[in-house]
Structure 1
Amino acid sequence: MVTLAAKDDLGKRGEQMAVDFLRARGWEVLDRNWRCREGELDIVARDGQALVVVEVKTRSGRTHGTALEAVNPLKLARLRFLVGRWLAGQAVRFDTVRVDVIALERFGAAYSLHHERGVC
């Protein structure tokens, strides 16, 4: 049985791996774990002139589907709403706004990372 603490640790590790991945590609991370009453944005980043909200999903197995499959249409709709909330509190504007997903899956001690750009 997976404990809540183990799941939280897996998620935090996945988010840090995603941040490291994005920074290695020259992205600027603007915000992490931004929260409001309606939800949370994992990573808010700048990719050139684009604002990119990155949803990070980390899984230790596929018993509940892949990490990428966990980002369903309802989740994407919530992310679009939250992007609007985040932008409303910012003075800066962006040429483009998009949502990406970084899906990480752990296989033993190794992780695989898949970056899906522009899911909405």
Structure 2
Amino acid sequence: MAEHNELGKKGEELAIKFLIDKGYKILEKNYRYLKAEVDIIAQKENTLAVVEVKTRSSDYFGNPQDFVNPKKIKLLLSAIDYYVNEKDLDVEVRFDIIAIIHQKTIKIEHLEDAFLHF
């Protein structure tokens, strides 16, 4: 497996542990719908958190969250719309980014309602 794929997988594992520690229930990992892939779908109380995980080995080229583009957001919106309808869920939906910088130490930042800024 390519090194960046291993880093991404490790980042998703760290994000899942982080969310569980914060009281979230993990509903789906790597949920796919058409061309979209949602890294994590988690729930806490009546909120469904749609989580995009971005992991980088440094912030030299920018913060991890800066790499979520409008095309990715559009794909995530369509995937979660389908998911909520398919499961007949009555929840609030929130789009989050978990940004991880994995160097000698690990820095995790949870950005709730991250897409409000796009």
**Partner in structure 1 of residue 9 of structure 2:** 12
Which of 14, 17, 38 is matched with 1:41 structurally?
38
Q: Secondary structure at the match of 1:54?
A: strand
Give me the whole-angstrom Cα distance separating, in 1, the residues matched to 2:47 and 2:24.
10
**Partner in structure 1 of residue 113 of structure 2:** 118
Letter in 2 for 1:100: D
Count of aligned residue pairs for this structure pair: 115
| Ranges in structure 1 where 5+ consecutive residues have no aligned partner | none
User: How far does residue 73 in structure 1 lie from its aligned partner after superposition?
Assistant: 2.7
Q: Say yes or no: does 1:104 pair with 2:104.
A: no
| Ranges in structure 2 where 5+ consecutive residues have no aligned partner | none
User: How far does residue 76 in structure 1 lie from its aligned partner after superposition?
Assistant: 1.8
Q: Say yes or no: does 1:29 pair with 2:26.
A: yes
Q: CA RMSD in A?
A: 1.4
Q: Deviations over 1:14-42 (max 9, x none)?
A: 00100000000111000000112221000
Q: Secondary structure at the match of 2:87?
A: coil
Q: Extract structure 1 runs of 4+ deviating beyond 4 A.
A: none
TM-score, normalising length from structure 2?
A: 0.89
Letter in 1 for 2:112: R
User: How far does residue 63 in structure 1 lie from its aligned partner after superposition?
Assistant: 4.1
TM-score, normalising length from structure 1?
A: 0.87
